[in-house]
A and B are shown apart, each in its own frame.
Chain A
């Protein structure tokens, strides 16, 4: 069974601070996706990383896929209250197209 563990589970920071959240697995994934979910809404796809070692930037968000494709990180620079939400990583299960979701990191950015 593939397992995606995210850390930390909860994170509360002041506006303007930097942060990193992690998504780790003992299994290799062909790709990993990051989603953000705001209260009362569905998850919104932020990025997909495919190649080991890949780095993708989305404004103040930087996503990295581990060289071995077993882990990924999301770094946010100068966090803003609008970044508040549940951040989820997800990857396709081995031999299937079904997406398996991590446990999530709940981020609160305090103005």
Chain B
């Protein structure tokens, strides 16, 4: 009964490179959320997806960031042309959706841009 799996746990990228963060939700969960957390701060919502659909991307920067949750496979958060300010912990959560909003989190991916 695996929980939310995120990989990699740590990712180092040089400025200008692309970062791809993966999230496999809890089995049976069709809703995925991505959050960003800066050191010593709370969680900031980025994007909410259901299978093959983006429901709410109001927290995601308009440029360089994109997210997908294909019919098969994990959800991907993609950051193009990374800058130092993108360094943060990125957390994925999943839920069954509908009236059930209980979300379970992965252990996060810590992105460092050098």
A and B found bound together: yes
- A-to-B contact residues, CB < 8 Å: 31, 33, 35, 41-45, 48, 86, 88, 90, 92, 96-104, 106
- B-to-A contact residues, CB < 8 Å: 4, 6, 31, 33, 35, 40-45, 48, 55-56, 91, 93, 95, 97-98, 101-108
Q: Return chain A residues, CB-CB under 8 Å to B42.
A: 86, 88, 101-104
Distance in angstroms between the alpha carbons of A42 and B44 in the assembled complex: 13
Q: How far is the CB of B33 from chain A (nearest CB, A)?
A: 7
Can you spell out 12 A-B residue pairs with CB atoms less than 8 angstroms apart? A33-B101, A41-B107, A45-B104, A45-B105, A88-B42, A88-B43, A90-B103, A96-B56, A101-B35, A101-B45, A102-B42, A106-B40
Contact yes or no, B106 A42, CB < 8 A? yes
Decide yes or no: A99 and B97 within 8 Å by CB, A42-B107, A48-B102 being known contacts.
no
Q: How far is the CB of A81 from chain B (nearest CB, A)?
A: 20
Q: How far is the CB of A110 from chain B (nearest CB, A)?
A: 19
Distance in angstroms between the alpha carbons of A41 and B4 in the assembled complex: 12
Besides the known contacts A33-B103, A43-B43, A88-B43, 10 further A-B residue pairs in the complex with CB atoms under 8 A apart: A42-B108, A43-B91, A44-B105, A45-B102, A97-B95, A97-B101, A98-B48, A99-B45, A99-B101, A101-B43
